[in-house]
Chains A and B, each alone.
Chain A
Amino acid sequence: GAVVSQHPSWVICKSGTSVKIECRSLDFQATTMFWYRQFPKQSLMLMATSNEGSKATYEQGVEKDKFLINHASLTLSTLTVTSAHPEDSSFYICSARTGNRYEQYFGPGTRLTVT
């Protein structure tokens, strides 16, 4: 149980284009989803927190107009990187939790390469 999927697992896009990453909770209702960014051999950096049906809360320093997050249902959240640039190349990970539980279940991650 508690499986989170991400799609795509790897995406290459050209500079200036937008790319959407999907995060789905497969066997539970995710009341809260989180989006992280991770550089090689570094820790996870929280980008934003989203609750179903509400606007996402972004961490300080994260551009909300560049990283659009939508949490339209209890099983799906999307992260859209708009007008991507090479510096946006990174590993993006989503996680989800249900109810008031503190435990987060992580997706397998998406490797984004912007050329």
Chain B
Amino acid sequence: AQTVTQSQPEMSVQEAETVTLSCTYDTSENNYYLFWYKQPPSRQMILVIRQEAYKQQNATENRFSVNFQKAAKSFSLKISDSQLGDTAMYFCALAGGTSYGKLTFGQGTILTVHP
């Protein structure tokens, strides 16, 4: 069974500052993908960033980057230069080889960016 754990129910950050959201996971698969999704108040799920487990290089997308520690099964998301529009619920998710594409989601972290 696959599990994803987000231990920070809520986080807050000042505009323009940097914040890191934590995620740990467990899987027996060798080939898997990790994702961070953002769900703003509109509730539309938006893909923020994706990491393929066989790639050692950490993924980056503009102000968003991850720290992927495969041995520790850790996958944190760093948001630099936080903006008010980053206020949302963030979900860490895992898709593994035998799960037929099913995503296992963490509990979510509510991030609030203050002006």
Q: Secondary structure of the B side of the interface? A: strand
| Of B43, B103, B107, the contact of A104 (CB 8 Å cutoff) | B103
**B54 an interface residue at 8 Å Cβ cutoff?**
no
Q: How far is the CA of A52 from the CA of B46 in the complex (A)?
A: 24
Tell me the A residues contacting B by CB distance below 8 Å: 32, 34, 38, 41-44, 46, 49, 91, 93, 95, 97, 100-106, 108-109
Query: Which of B35, B46, B101 has its CB near the most chain A CB atoms (within 10 A)?
Result: B101
Q: How far is the CA of A87 from the CA of B91 in the complex (A)?
A: 25
> Inter-chain contact count A-B, CB under 8 Å?
51
| Of B44, B47, B106, the contact of A43 (CB 8 Å cutoff) | B106
Q: Flag if A91 contacts B43 (CB, 8 Å).
A: yes
Q: Flag if B105 contacts A102 (CB, 8 Å).
A: no
- The chain B residue with its CB closest to the CB of A105 is B47
Residues of B within 8 A of A104 (CB): 95, 101, 103
| A29 nearest CB across to chain B (Å) | 14
Q: Flag if A43 contacts B101 (CB, 8 Å).
A: no
Q: Flag if B43 contacts A97 (CB, 8 Å).
A: no
Known: A41-B89, A109-B44. A103 touches B50 (CB 8 A): yes
